Each structure stands twice: as structure tokens, then as C-alpha cells.
Amino acid sequence: MMYSIKIRDHIMIAHSFAHPGFGIASQLHGATYIVDATFYSATLNDMNVVLDISQAAELLKKVLKELNYHNLDAIEKFNGKLTTTEFLSHYIHQELSREIVDFFSGDLKIELGESHVAWASYQGKVLPL
């Protein structure tokens, strides 16, 4: 049995995919992602919650700020990377994990919705990196 909380935000980005398998998406294009972060825990903390929802929302917003309204192709740490929806969900998971590892132990799922019919996610334990 697990408890969970889920928060939602969004980001608007631009990027391209330098790989012929992506067809027209190889060209620079924009995407608006719905970002869901779900925190899972087998126990509640001393406040009787999985994690304070407002704190979780603030930290997610902090992590997304470096991506929001940016061309990912111009961010040095993404040079040579295919910034797919799956890649970004893992990246956001890592960055958010860094923010919460000192006060949350459990699983974190990051799910990105790139349209009403297409979603990708990454789920794993929050561990020190």
C-alpha cells in the first residue's frame, strides 16, 4: 500500500532532434508539456502527509524554470542529446530528486503530456545522486 500526492505545472520549450528517425521533428519546433509529479510513500511524515503540497509545487516550479521558455538546443548541458519527452521526464526526475532527497524518501514519478493523446514518464526512487 502506498500514499501519494500529485502536483501539476507546465513548460513551454523549443528543440529539435538531430536524428533522421524523427522526420519533420528533426527541425526546430515548440512543445508545451503538462508536467505531473507524483510522490509515493509507504508512510506519512511527522505532519501526517507524504510531502507538503505547496513545498512540492514550489520545488517543481524551481526545477522547471531553467527549461521554461527556452530553446533546449541552446542549453550547453543538452548539447548532443536528443531531448525527447522520455529524456526530459528523466532529467526533471533527477533535478527534483536533488531538491527533495534530504526530507523525502519514496518514489517519484514525472509524467510529461505533450498532447492530449501522448504522454511519457520516468519513475524511480528518490536517491542521492
State the DSSP string of 24-52: GGGS-EEEEEEEEEEEEESS--TTSSSS-
Give percent of the chain with pLDDT exceeding 70: 99
Radius of gyration of the chain (CA): 15
Flag whether pLDDT at 23 surpasses 70.
yes
Residue range 29-51: average pLDDT?
Answer: 96
d(CA 126, CA 129): 9
Q: Where are the alpha helices (DSSP H) in the chain?
A: 53-65, 85-100
d(CA 16, CA 27): 5
pTM: predicted TM-score of the whole model, two decimal places:
0.95
CATH architecture of structural domain 3-52+73-125: 2-Layer Sandwich (3.30)
